Chain A
Amino acid sequence: MLSSITSRLSRNISVFNGRSFVRQFASASAETVNIKLPESSFKTYKCDPPSLDIEVTKDELLRLYKEMAVMRRMETAADGLYKSKMIRGFCHLCTGQEAVAVGMEAAITEDDAIITAYRCHGFTYVRGGTIHSILAELMGRKAGISRGKGGSMHMFSKNFYGGNGIVGAQVPVGTGVAFTQKYLEKKNATFILYGDGAANQGQVFEAFNMAKLWDLPAIFVCENNFFGMGTAAGRSSANAQYYTRGQYIPGLQVNGMDVLAVKQACSWAKNWTTNDQGPLVLEMVTYRYGGHSMSDPGTSYRTREEIQHMRSTKDPITGLRQRILELGFSTDDEIKKLEKEARAVVEEAVAEAQKEPQPDESEIFTNIYAKGTEPPIIRGREREEFAVMNQ
């Protein structure tokens, strides 16, 4: 990790006018450093790589750290709530993959769009969903981000098109979103996420072709966590170099366990596509620590040692913590405090979300058709109404 940061760190205090209190203020927040990412951060396919130099501020690093820490806490809380049967249904956690969502969001603006599959809690959080609304959704409460009607796989927010449960279906959908950005001549891009397993759905290739044909600002992002349920990537994919699978679309493989590499790659990709250079395929090499979903212990198709090894050598949160410590941006104690805050925020959200009521029963019939266009009766209702009227 140390070697990855150049000793030529240019520590320049950007907001500095000589007065000491400003200097102090500056060193507490806006001090920028130039970090050199390791060469191994990227591998390219038919394009030049992004720069390995990335400029960051202390503030930003601490923010990224906290976001990842909160995300992990939130997923841990979801795990607990599921096990105590407060969360029903199918629930997929992103523990281990935090750097992808956090790094991506750090690189884009809220006018850029994201769409992903069912492993969506982390993305919902970075896209502005509150922890409260995410946990409430998981527990099927009225205050949930989808009014308690979606559950784990169906979460949405502004410019975040979900949360999609059918593997691969979101990929052409995201391509359509990207088309509107081009049509409206916006300098925005759509990040379309899918897994290493999903990469084999025919729809993915159909979307690739359309995006390239029309040069859309579509950034296809394969989150390669090495498994699609129990199947290892190499056993499902004839070519497991996912960043090369766009054939005629340039690609970039990214160390998805390093939030800064992810950020750099996403900034680069956005810049590429919004300059009308057409779509890209990014492969975020990452790892999920838990099982595929809550009903999968996740240890029958890989060894505990493998998981432990990834945790201890590749963890995105530990990695960033080391970087922060090495830069002297924070002390161990300060980071512990951040961790504590993250835990407190999540614990409070858990407690609050649990108090939320379930949606009204009338919600059974809402959001199916546009308001005012519903059929006069929704079949299946008459029986009960008949019974009621005859009471």
Chain B
Amino acid sequence: MQTSRFTLLYRNFANNIYSKPLSRNRFIHKAFFHATKKILQTSGAPAPAPAEGYLPGVAQSKFIKSTQEEALKNSELMNTGVANGETKKMNMFQAINDAMGIALTTDETAVIFGEDVAFGGVFRCTLGLAEMFGRDRVFNTPLSEQGIVGFGIGMAAVGHTAIAEIQFADYIFPAFDQLVNEAAKYRYRSGGLFNVGGLTVRSPCSAVGHGGHYHSQSPEAYFTHTPGLIVVMPRSPIQAKGLLLASIRDRNPVIFLEPKILYRAAVEEVPVGDYELPLGKAEILKSGKDVTVVGYGSQLYTLENAIKLAEKDIPGLSCELIDLRSLSPWDVDTVANSVNKTGRLVISHEAPQTSGFAAEVATSIMERCFLRLEAPIQRVCGLDTPFPLIFEKFYVPDMTKCYDAIKEVVNY
């Protein structure tokens, strides 16, 4: 019985993929297309897969600021002193590097540590910083996540700025106790005598096309479930720089999750100066009147494409897309205001659905906007399975699934 269900499910994928409007659309998720085709060949050797590791198509996104004018036309930059300043082409890992360089320049107590960070780290985010600031400020640690985070907590408790890198978000779990019990509760349990506000833990997260079980997970909800922690996930170079600087300087411990597939996905004109973007504030990326679509990190680009397709297929439809940016605290007001206007909400993230962050958003909005809702809130999330190696394209909440959900709330 199960098998036939899956055959159906599978055909549905195939139908969706090959149906006219989709295959005509130039925004079709290429990798998904490819994987589906691969799986369609039930026997024989599948063709080798294309190069991956970055998200194709992000560079063409409307949300990528590829000119100086676009980059600086941002109300959040108005009071930061970089509004009229210089910009430089950077992709996300360079913008993160730039932010850390500024943090070390402006704060004498700031240090960076983690596995192989003095060599630049796996994703090159700390490239050149050891040379620039010295090995006593940018240093390699042993392979010891619990140790790394605990050590950072100690430094931060004294008042120093500790910027720790956990090589992959999947390896943050050995440090789970330190984050959840020590970092998050230091202020509370010392009655305010101590705090670890100077601690920022950066870690690359989410799918990368071929990462499998231990190089793909999105653990944000484990941490948003922990009062005392700030959780942030940026979507682009400009965002990453401003949010990271704010995170490093924020007086609470911050977990800064960087979608690794975005590190080299697109270049923006990033202000070279020192600026922060607000934590706890969502950003409306595209305004619309019919459906509120909420996401964060790399999922926003999938949502952008899904919206594009839905708006094309359903004449007159206009969707509002919101980037949460911070997940804890998160900006309920911006989302609630939007849903009060649209009456429909679709939330999407890559992490599994059950107890995922979308559940939190859905409940809060249901509480705030119950009478305004025109359709059940939809969650489009990763499947409730371990993150698969070869079934990644089926696991992720891809454009087709997001498109379906938008259609569903519209047609309800």
Interface string of A358-391 (1 = CB under 8 A from B): 1111111100100000000011110111011001
Cβ B389 vs Cβ A149 within 8 A = yes
Inter-chain contact B352/A379, CB cutoff 8 Å: yes
**1/0 contact string of A203-235 vs chain B (CB within 8 Å):** 100000000000000000000000011110001
> B58: which A residues are within 8 A, CB to CB?
none
Closest chain B residue, CB of each to CB of A196: B143
In the complex, how many angstroms separate the beta carbon of B210 from the nearest chain A beta carbon?
4
Q: Tell me the complex Cα distance, A73–B390, Å.
A: 25
Q: Is the CB of B12 within 8 A of A387?
A: yes
Cβ–Cβ < 8 Å partners of A364 in chain B:
383, 385, 388, 391, 394-395
Q: Pick the most buried of B13, B38, B51: most chain A CB atoms within 10 A of its CB.
A: B13
A202, CB-defined interface residue at 8 Å: yes
A152-179 vs B, Cβ < 8 Å mask (1 yes, 0 no): 0110000000000111110000000000
A229 touches B394 (CB 8 A): no
What residues of A have a CB within 8 angstroms of the CB of B142 in the complex? 197, 200, 236-237
Measured as residues with beta carbon below 8 angstroms from the partner, the interface class of chain A is 35 or more
Return the chain B residue nearest A148 by Cβ. B390
State whether A360 and B143 are in contact (beta carbons under 8 Å apart), knowing that A201-B174, A368-B386 are contacts in the complex: no
Query: Residue-by-residue, is B1-23 near A (CB-CB < 8 Å gives 1, otherwise 0)?
Result: 01101101111110100000000
CA of A90 to CA of B383, assembled, Å: 22
Contacts of B44 in A (CB 8 A): 355, 357
CB neighbours (8 Å) of A368 from chain B are 385-386
Q: Is the CB of B116 within 8 A of A229?
A: yes
Q: Are B6 and A361 in contact (CB under 8 A)?
A: yes
Judge whether A236 and B143 touch: CB under 8 Å: yes
Report if A198 contacts B (CB, 8 A): yes
**Partner-binding segment picked from A25-33, A50-58, A80-88, A94-102:** A80-88
- Check if B144 is an interface residue, CB within 8 A of chain A: yes
Residues on B with beta carbons closer than 8 Å to the beta carbon of A201? 143-144, 146, 174
User: Quick check: is B69 within 8 A (CB to CB) of the other chain?
Assistant: no
Which single residue of chain B is at the shortest CB-CB distance from A353? B45
Q: Which of B212-220, B276-284, B290-298 contacts A (4 or more CB under 8 A)?
A: B212-220
- Determine how close the nearest CB of chain B comes to the CB of A219; give it in whole angstroms: 21
Residues in chain A near residue B10, CB distance under 8 A: 361
Does residue B193 face the partner (Cβ distance < 8 Å to A)? no
A residues near B390, Cβ cutoff 8 Å? 88, 140, 148-149, 151, 358-359
Which chain B residues border A387 with CB–CB below 8 Å?
Answer: 12, 404
Task: For the complex, give the distance between the alpha carbons of A389 and B381 in Å.
Answer: 20
Would you call A150 an interface residue if the criterion is a C-beta within 8 Å of the partner chain's C-beta atoms?
Answer: yes
- List 6 extra interface pairs beyond A200-B147, A202-B147, CB under 8 A: A88-B49, A358-B38, A360-B3, A378-B384, A379-B354, A388-B5
Which residues of B does A touch, CB under 8 Å? Answer: 2-3, 5-6, 8-13, 15, 38-39, 42-46, 48-51, 115-116, 119, 140, 142-144, 146-147, 170-171, 173-174, 209-215, 352-354, 380-386, 388-391, 394-395, 401, 404-405
A-B contact pairs, 16 of them (CB 8 A): A85-B50, A149-B390, A165-B213, A166-B174, A167-B143, A230-B116, A235-B140, A300-B119, A355-B44, A362-B2, A364-B391, A364-B394, A378-B383, A380-B382, A380-B384, A388-B8
Binding site for B on A (CB under 8 A): 84-86, 88-90, 140, 148-151, 153-154, 165-169, 197-198, 200-203, 228-231, 235-237, 300-301, 354-355, 357-365, 368, 378-381, 383-385, 387-388, 391
